Amino acid sequence: MKPPKFAYEKPRTLEAAIRLLADGGDGAKLLAGGQSLGPILNFRLAQPELLVDVRTLPELSVARDEGDSVFLGATTTHSAIEDGRVPDPTRGLLPAVARTIAYRAVRNRGTLGGSLAHADPAADWVNVMALLDAEIVAQGPRGERRVRASEFVRGPLTTALAVDEIVLGVRIRKLSARARWGHYKFNRKPGEFAEAIGGFVHDPERGVARALVGAIGDAPHVVADASGLDEPRMRAAVSSAGFGPDTYEHQIHFVALKRAVARAAAA
Amino acid sequence: MTQSAGKGVGARLRRKEDERFLRGRGEYVGNLRMVGMLDVAFVRSSVAHARICAVRKPAGHEAAVFTIDDLAGVRPIVANSALKGFKSAPQHVLAKDKVRQVGEAIVMCVAPTRAEAEDIAAQVELDLEELPAVVDMVAAIKPGAPRVHDEWLDNVVLETLVDDNLSGIRARAAIKVQRRIRTARQCMSPIEGRGVVAHYDRRLNQLTVHSAAQMPHINRAGLSECLGIDQGRIRVVAPDVGGGFGYKGILLPEEVCLGWLTMKVGRPVRWLEDRFEQLTANANCREHYYDITGYADADGRLLAIDCEAIVDSGAYSSYPFSACLEAAQVGSILPGPYRMDGYRCRTWSAATNKAPILPYRGVARTGVCFALELVLDAIAREARKEPYEVRLASLVPPEAMPFVNITKKYFDSGDYPEALRRAVKALDLPKWRARQRRGEPDGRRVGVGLAIFCEQAAHGTSVYHGWGIPMVPGHEQCTARLSPDGVLELRIGAHSHGQGLETTLAQVAHEILGVDPDNVRLVHGDTALTPYSTGTWGSRCMVMSGGAVATACKEIEKRVRAIAGKLMEVAGDDLVLEAGRVRVGGTDRSMSLAEVAHVWYRAPQLLPADVDPAGLEATAGYKTKQDTGTFSYACHACAVAVDTELGTVEILDYVVVEDGGTLVNPMIVDGQVFGGAAQGIGTALYEEMPFDAQGQPLASTLADYMLPGATEVPAIRIEHMETPSPLSYFGQKGIGEGGAIAPPAAIANAVNDALADLGVEVLESPITPRRLLAAVAAARAGRGAA
């Protein structure tokens, strides 16, 4: 499979990129790491007229500590997070997750913002950012906009982004010293997309207790008040995520969540 | 024989071919560049079964778009068997009237690049009237099923029956276990897909087809039959090939199409299969169904096997192995390495709307071993014995060798019980039983499993002529030529694509002639440069090509002795060939092979008057002493941990005890076993092409079609036994496929061992989390009901 012809632009400024997107309308598509878009182009599932390459835009590659939060630019690669080359507000959660994304070659190219904008329901950042209640920062012709991660992904391959908006980056609140987290990814082989993701974060100082039923074929299901989460409530959460009892999906999502909670307790 | 100096038969020589492979310098079909070359894209069927009502070529592109109606004079691919009752299914190289599987090529589009060819292909309009698809092999052979071929009365390609009267055994057997066992359809997945570059050489008046092929001479014969031009006008070149496994042991419709096309358009043309085509059009192997009953005495000794088996043969008959070889083979090899008093087996090759079946590494043996070894474990549980104990009671013992088994297979040599004992010892069974009793801290369940098989390899004329398929192996030939500078050139008609023949055949030449393996060049995979061969299949090359190389080198040796003896004024018999030189025995007088060659080519005035005028080039043929095949065998034993909450299986230890007879290069044998076992682990736990009820294959990328990788394959431990075959030149046995045969059985037995006290028994491969959890749930429900 080879893609049909398309035009390619590599703008030097964010403004130019947004202008190209706005002018291109539905026919224009952003290219960052290309790890999802490449295969989609080859399969001709997307046939854009224009690719706008934003991989080297300086505005998207920043990573800064903002005191009580960390901002990671959209083109931060998975391997940069894995290697600790950018600040980690999560006391190890982000690097641990990054390590499980695909293979190193993919992690060297694939980007945080690209993954979120692509919005594959099984993608790690789509799920983990919802768990962390992170904030997605987007920029368009009408200026900057902030969207909570749990509202950013609307469904499979669907986001809150307008066609002329670009993800600038992600703002993540820092976990406090007493915070505990657990993450469990169930996949058939290391590096494959998840069949189920369970997540749990408990930060008593910030009054946060959140649980994740992820990789559900849709926007992730988050339990925002997950303090005192026991097995019946976990099963209820999995059912709320769309998997009735006595199904394979219910079982694997329940176990993933249960193990994430157990890992948080053991941390 | 000469002194080996560590480079001959038995040496762990590093592979010569790795110099280019490991540096990324292999030359594959995809590396070929020809001036003016055009690319081809095929329009393939998106449905499994349909009548083709109309094909509309896109306006303006008519000259670049071809249907079967354009391919005037091209004949369909026909791979018939002479077995009684076989139904023929000729395959048009582009679909005519009907499509019978997803991915069947309907239209060929040609353009300067593949992307442009795909642009044209996307504009071709097909009018297909969908027909009911035949998807499940068990339903396919029932009366009233829709038919794959309108002109047939049912979907049975061939039915075979081996029938013993089992009534006496049934009456006296203390143990009877019946199981229904299934193996999923897989898609062979070499790293390199298929690929063809065809061009026409006007000077030689010859069509040249470069193809990633295991059997180039067979492809030439098939191309000749389909294109209607004589074989002398066709040259097939198989350059470096990135993995075969059977996937490339076939005459391709695409080869015929491109052969026709290059003659039509007068330019070189290329088609490279991509992963989407491979997965959607060519999931082509391993799909078996067994309804199998094992009878045993109270101690678990096997008395008889009674089996009805179905193989899903797909829509057409692949050239040359045909649509019936696999199922018919089930009937002849199901008894495995065991002795038994009675045996009955009925098989069906079922036609379905799927890709035509191709023999994959191990062919029917992987499924047969799975069915039989699961039954053996079920018998062991009934008899309350360790699984190895019931096997020891039933294996053919060494003192019975050579042994003719119940289906008249001639087991040439070996000690099967010893392989089993060594595997049990190497695994350390008591250690695992103790750990099993203790339980795992993480709640997983540990189990141990084993499987043993024997494998017929390099079998020849007497076995194959009975099948009556387009190919019958006879003598294997080699042309050996000592060139003027003393380099030995070997030409064989088989092809090396991972087997390491460039190294092992050089070792054979070294063994005979003393020539340094670095000074041996293997020429293979080109019909213009090599003697005829049926090619690389059936674990035959080390036995057959190895024997041919040895025989040709013997002939060269005779001639070298005659020339050198005359030059050094001694009898030829007094000479010793070693280290690239010819030495007078007991002295230090010698001359190099290069000096001998120099005299023949450059100083013939020095030759003896009675010199063999054929010179230092010889073509010799070879057959094993008896062509019933060598029988290698192996016992695989493993320990697994099963997570009953998620349905996953981790292999904790894996041991292979293998007897490949005399090992020409033990390191290469290890590599073969590792590679085969990795594929067997794929069959056991990962690889499956699911189909929906309409015959749509559901895994169209490698994200969905799960292949094992480095993280799924444990550090396999291998022990070798070396019982020389009495039939082959050096005692070597074919072992190329063995690694892929036993893993599904050994792993499933280990899983069942781990879950036995839950009442769980897995009878289907691959053992996916979904299947395993369903089996656990079913066992729980069954207990609840009881």
Give pLDDT tens digits for B181-198: 999 999 999 999 999 999
pLDDT at residue B1, rounded to an integer: 39
Q: State which amino acid sits at residue B749.
A: N
Band the pLDDT of B543: cuts 50, 70, 90.
Answer: very high
Compute the average pLDDT of residues B63-83. 97
Of the residues A184, A185, A189, A263, the best mutation for testing chain B's interface (the one with the most B CB atoms within 10 Å of its CB) is A189
CB of A190 less than 8 A from some CB of B: yes
pTM: predicted TM-score of the whole model, two decimal places: 0.97
Compute the average pLDDT of residues B233-242. 98
Tokens representing residue B227 in the block: 């294109």
Indicate yes or no: CB of A251 within 8 angstroms of CB of B645: yes
Indicate yes or no: CB of A188 within 8 angstroms of CB of B769: yes
Indicate yes or no: CB of B711 within 8 angstroms of CB of A189: yes
CB of B603 less than 8 A from some CB of A: no
pLDDT at A111 over 90: yes
pLDDT at B709 over 70: yes
Q: Looking at chain A, which residue has its C-alpha nearest residue B777?
A: A246
Rounded distance, CA B394 to CA B776, Å? 31
Using a CB-CB cut-off of 8 Å, the residues of chain A touching B703 are 192-193
Indicate yes or no: CB of B712 within 8 angstroms of CB of A189: yes
Q: What is the CA radius of gyration of chain B?
A: 27
pLDDT at residue A267, rounded to an integer: 85
Contacts of B375 (CB under 8 A, 6+ apart): B177, B179, B292, B293, B294, B305
Indicate yes or no: CB of A248 within 8 angstroms of CB of B701: no
Are the C-beta atoms of B129 and B53 separated by less than 8 Å? yes
pLDDT at residue B698, rounded to an integer: 97
pLDDT at residue B695, rounded to an integer: 98
CB of B708 less than 8 A from some CB of A: yes
Q: State which amino acid sits at residue B115.
A: A
Tokens representing residue B512 in the block: 């005979």
Rounded distance, CA A226 to CA A203, Å? 11
CB of A6 less than 8 A from some CB of B: no
DSSP secondary-structure letter at B683? I
Q: Looking at chain A, which residue has its C-alpha nearest residue B702?
A: A192
Q: Which one of B115, B646, B770 has the shortest CB-CB distance to A2?
A: B115
Q: B467-489, pLDDT tens digit by residue? A: 899 999 999 999 999 999 999 99
Rounded distance, CA B303 to CA B308, Å? 17
Band the pLDDT of B3: cuts 50, 70, 90.
Answer: very low
User: Distance from A1 to chain B by nearest Cα, in Å?
Assistant: 7
DSSP secondary-structure letter at A102? S
User: Distance from B733 to chain A by nearest Cα, in Å?
Assistant: 35
Q: Looking at chain B, which residue has its C-alpha nearest residue A2?
A: B115
CB of B774 less than 8 A from some CB of A: yes
H helices present in A83-172, as ranges: 93-98, 104-109, 112-118, 124-131, 149-152
CB of B470 less than 8 A from some CB of A: no
B99: phi then psi, degrees, rounded to nearest 5:
-110, 145
Are the C-beta atoms of A146 and A170 separated by less than 8 Å? no
Are the C-beta atoms of B249 and B215 separated by less than 8 Å? yes
Is residue B13 helix, strand or coil?
coil
pLDDT at residue B782, rounded to an integer: 83
Q: Which one of A3, A192, A255 has the shortest CB-CB distance to B703?
A: A192
pLDDT at B360 over 90: yes
DSSP secondary-structure letter at A175? P
Q: How far from the centroid of its chain's Cα atoms is residue B31's Cα?
A: 25
Q: Which one of A39, A191, A251 has the shortest CB-CB distance to B773?
A: A251
Q: Which residues pair with B40 in a beta bridge?
A: B110
Nearest CA-CA partner of A191 in B640, B712, B369, B551: B712
A&B contacts, CB < 8 Å: 49
pLDDT at B378 over 60: yes
Sign of the four-CA dihedral B58, B62, B64, B70: positive
pLDDT at residue B99, rounded to an integer: 98
User: Distance from B645 to chain A by nearest Cα, in Å?
Assistant: 7
Query: How many of the other CB atoms lie within 10 Å of CB of A59?
Result: 17
CB of B416 less than 8 A from some CB of A: no
Q: Which one of A5, A190, A252 has the shortest CB-CB distance to B711?
A: A190
Band the pLDDT of B610: cuts 50, 70, 90.
Answer: confident
- The ipTM estimated for the assembled molecules is 0.96
Put simply, the chain B residues between 281 and 340 with a CB less than 8 A from any chain A CB are none
**What is the share, in percent, of chain B residues with pLDDT greater than 70?**
99
Q: A121-159, pLDDT tens digit by residue? A: 999 999 999 999 999 999 999 999 999 999 999 999 999
Q: Which one of A39, A188, A190 has the shortest CB-CB distance to B706?
A: A188
Tokens representing residue B182 in the block: 């299934």
Opening angle at CA B677, ends B675 and B682, nearest 5: 100
Indicate yes or no: CB of A1 within 8 angstroms of CB of B703: no
H helices present in A43-189, as ranges: 78-82, 93-98, 104-109, 112-118, 124-131, 149-152
Q: Looking at chain B, which residue has its C-alpha nearest residue A192?
A: B703
CB of A266 less than 8 A from some CB of B: no
Band the pLDDT of B2: cuts 50, 70, 90.
Answer: very low
Band the pLDDT of B784: cuts 50, 70, 90.
Answer: low
Strand B764-765 versus strand B175-183 pairing type:
parallel
Torsion of CA B453, B459, B463, B469, to 10 degrees: 110
Rounded distance, CA B57 to CA B122, Å? 10
Opening angle at CA A179, ends A178 and A180, nearest 5: 120
Q: B82-140, pLDDT tens digit by residue? A: 999 999 999 999 999 999 999 999 999 999 999 999 999 999 999 999 999 999 999 99
Using a CB-CB cut-off of 8 Å, the residues of chain B touching A2 are 113-115, 118
DSSP one-letter string for B598-654: HHHHH-GGGS-TT--TTTTEEEEEE--SSTT-EEEEEEEEEEEEEETTTTEEEEEEE
Q: Which one of A1, A43, A255 has the shortest CB-CB distance to B646?
A: A255
DSSP one-letter string for B535-578: -S-TT-HHHHHHHHHHHHHHHHHHHHHHHHHHHHTS-GGGEEEE
User: Distance from A248 to chain B by nearest Cα, in Å?
Assistant: 6
pLDDT at residue B785, rounded to an integer: 56
Rounded distance, CA B526 to CA B511, Å? 26
Q: B189-237, pLDDT tens digit by residue? A: 999 999 999 999 999 999 999 999 999 999 999 999 999 999 999 999 9
Indicate yes or no: CB of B701 within 8 angstroms of CB of A39: yes
Of the residues B278, B646, B648, the best mutation for testing chain A's interface (the one with the most A CB atoms within 10 Å of its CB) is B646
